[in-house]
Amino acid sequence: MSKATAAIVGPGNIGTDLLAKLQRSENVDVRWMIGVDPASDGLARARARGVQTSHEGVDFLLGLDELPDLVFEATSAYAHRANAPRFAEAGIQAIDLTPAAVGPFVCPPVNLDVNLAAPNVNMITCGGQATIPIVAAVSSVVPVEYAEIVASISSRSAGPGTRANIDEFTETTAHAIEVVGGAQRGKAIIILNPVEPPMIMRDTVFCSIPAECDRDAIAASIHEMVQRVQEYVPGYTLRADPQFDDPRDIWNGHARVAVFLEVLGNGDYLPTYAGNLDIITAAAARVGDLMAQATVGANA
Amino acid sequence: MSVTTLDDVAEKPAIRITDSTLRDGSHAMAHRFTEDQVRSVVHALDAAGVEVIEVTHGDGLGGSSFNYGFSAVDDVKLVAAAVDEARQAKIAVLLLPGLGTVRNLKEAFDAGASVARVATHCTEADVSIQHFAAARDLGMETVGFLMLSHRASPAKLAEQARIMADAGAECVYVVDSAGALVLGDAQARVQAVIDEIGHQAQVGFHGHQNLSMGVANSVLAYQAGARQVDGALLALGAGAGNSPTEVLAATFERLGVPTGVDVQAALAAAEDVVKPIIPRLPHMDRSSIVQGYAGVYSSFLLHAERAGARYGVPPHEILQRVGEAGYVGGQEDMIIDIALQLAQERDLGDLAGVGTR
């Protein structure tokens, strides 16, 4: 069976972990790793994994006789904004792991089906990939007036980009909780914890729910969603059953469901505690896999 | 024994007390301050000569949430009311990056706030750089807050203070969020921060009373060179409360250190204005002492009490476990997680107990 061809642009930690995941895919063949620094460790790692590399950036990639079907970009929002129109013009589907958000937000078990043919999709944020499935699971059963997520990650797994612009995380995630998760209003909080040994990524999702509703149906929907995420993130687990709290005046008379999650990474290239980084590369690999299936299927 | 003389008074540098009754005290009020209450407290503090009054949800701008508790009144409205009420005092706001954003800061600035206090965990100062830049662009006075300072060595704290000072903080506080620093621990940290940034920025100290050290640590901080300290009327704040503003004013006056605060007016503000509006006086009970002893973020107290009641487990055990796990400010959700664990362990223990009979 033929595979879709792919390139990864950005040979950093994320790009390297993504490569390891995609090399297990039955549908995607990563042929190129693209960087800008000839001395890059990431390019050397990719060569060791049998992938052709270039330090001449996207110009090299777009100059190839045979262009890839898919490109994964793990650089910066600035770089992707510049590259996105060029990929689109060349007819290469782009999966964007930067905060650029040129294309629609995608969370695989929630809205990938309607975005499979999009020329460019954005992977939101790590906290978004971990929590939005749960918000969507609740909002598919009852109206969610307000959803709030708290992502706690190890300090060691927060890179300089996240640290320099932490507002981008909170604002982007909050927005995606609304447009992808289906909450009327979203809020996102991120906490960096330096404890040693490093803490495994934890996420808590709070959703307001109607005072009177079928709590068993909500719990069942959450459990089912967790299983769907586990298909591509095996270390995604509930710490406890969903917790329901009765309506309160200060919650506008709504009740609340609270969901406590742990995201243990797969340890492909990144350490297992960095579930935050793992879940975004795993989600991107999932998107690539399903896009490739759709492309190859259509060509077959 | 030294005796304070008038000459000493003239020579001693002043210390500025920032009152946080309406911010740290918001924790003890479950974030339910009304506009009238804010006006009356600001009026009293302003008349007493307090130069800076902090008004925000206990967890800072944007803190109103499921995780930390919803505010009765929006922060921006309370800030506007405080600004309207104050004659001489500046109104400060707190911002925790990862929770509050530059957008929140601009709204507070538009409402009249003029001091931006940006708080991070004591090892994560670099997440504040964009917020200091924004505050300076707005022309606000800037203060950095290194929270849970007992978790970092003096040298590490100094390095983090350097990041904030370089980002534009005009003062960096050693913040004893857990009330865990005991005397020399506090002074050594203040000293290290002064040695690192003292030539370019002031240094401050924010104390809690969990081990009863708030005022004593503040004095030691001053002696090391700190020129700003935080207090709250009647100690109203997280955990066992803050260094009481009225005690700081009285103590520094006895030491001959100018604060600009009228002791009698501060005492009246505490007794006549704050006492009638608070549900309970902060005090050193079992849970809050455990916070100081185990080094737990003071704001976790009421959350642990609520989770304890909800799941039938002792709050002090929750807090002990939180300390062991090394959770930092903002991880209030983990209190429920730990309460659930404790409840599960209790149920398993009950089953084991049944089994042995």
Give the Cα separation of A139 and A173 in Å (integer). Answer: 16
- Provide CB contacts within 8 A for A166, sequence distance 6+: A190, B97, B98, B127, B130
Please give the pLDDT value at position B7.
Answer: 54
Tokens of B223: 């002696």
Tokens 């600001």, residue located: B42
Q: Which residues of B touch A (CB under 8 A)?
A: 62, 65-67, 69-70, 72, 97-99, 101-103, 121, 123-124, 126-127, 129-130, 151, 310, 325-331, 333-334, 336-337, 340, 344
- Averaged over successive runs of 10 residues, the pLDDT of chain B (357 residues) comes to 52 96 96 97 98 98 98 97 98 98 98 98 98 98 98 98 98 98 98 98 98 98 98 97 98 98 98 96 93 94 96 96 95 96 89 59
The pLDDT tens digits along chain A (300 residues) read 689 999 999 999 999 999 999 999 999 999 999 999 999 999 999 999 999 999 999 999 999 999 999 999 999 999 999 999 999 999 999 999 999 999 999 999 999 999 999 999 999 999 999 999 999 999 999 999 999 999 999 999 998 888 999 999 999 999 999 999 999 999 999 999 999 999 999 999 999 999 999 999 999 999 999 999 999 999 999 999 999 999 999 999 999 999 999 999 999 999 999 999 999 999 999 999 999 999 876 654
Cβ-defined contact of B123 to A189 (cutoff 8 Å): no
Pairing of strands B141-147, B171-175: parallel
DSSP code of residue B100: B
| A164 interfacial to chain B (CB closer than 8 Å) | yes
Which element (helix H / strand E) includes B307? Answer: helix B300-311
Give the Cα separation of A78 and B119 in Å (integer). Answer: 28
Which among A146, A148, A157, A192 is the top mutation candidate for probing chain B, defined by the most B β-carbons within 10 Å of its own β-carbon?
A192
Cβ-defined contact of A164 to B336 (cutoff 8 Å): no
- Picking from A152, A164, A250, the nearest residue to B130 by CB comes out as A164
Please give the pLDDT value at position A223.
Answer: 98
- Picking from B102, B121, B130, the nearest residue to A192 by CB comes out as B121
- Cβ A86 vs Cβ A58: under 8 Å: yes
| A192 interfacial to chain B (CB closer than 8 Å) | yes
Q: What is the ipTM of this complex?
A: 0.94
Residue type, B111: A
- Active-site residue among A107, A126, A207, A213? A126
- Provide CB contacts within 8 A for A1, sequence distance 6+: A26, A296
> Among residues 202-261 of chain A, which lie with CB inside 8 Å of chain B?
202, 204, 206, 239-240, 243, 245, 250-251, 256, 258, 260
Please give the pLDDT value at position A2.
Answer: 85
Give the Cα separation of B105 and A34 in Å (integer). Answer: 39
Please give the pLDDT value at position A161.
Answer: 85
Please give the pLDDT value at position A224.
Answer: 98
The radius of gyration of chain B from alpha carbons, rounded to an integer in Å, stands at 20
- Nearest-CA distance A203 → chain B (Å): 9
List, in order of start, the domains of chain B with CATH numbers. 12-277 (3.20.20.70), 299-355 (1.10.8.60)
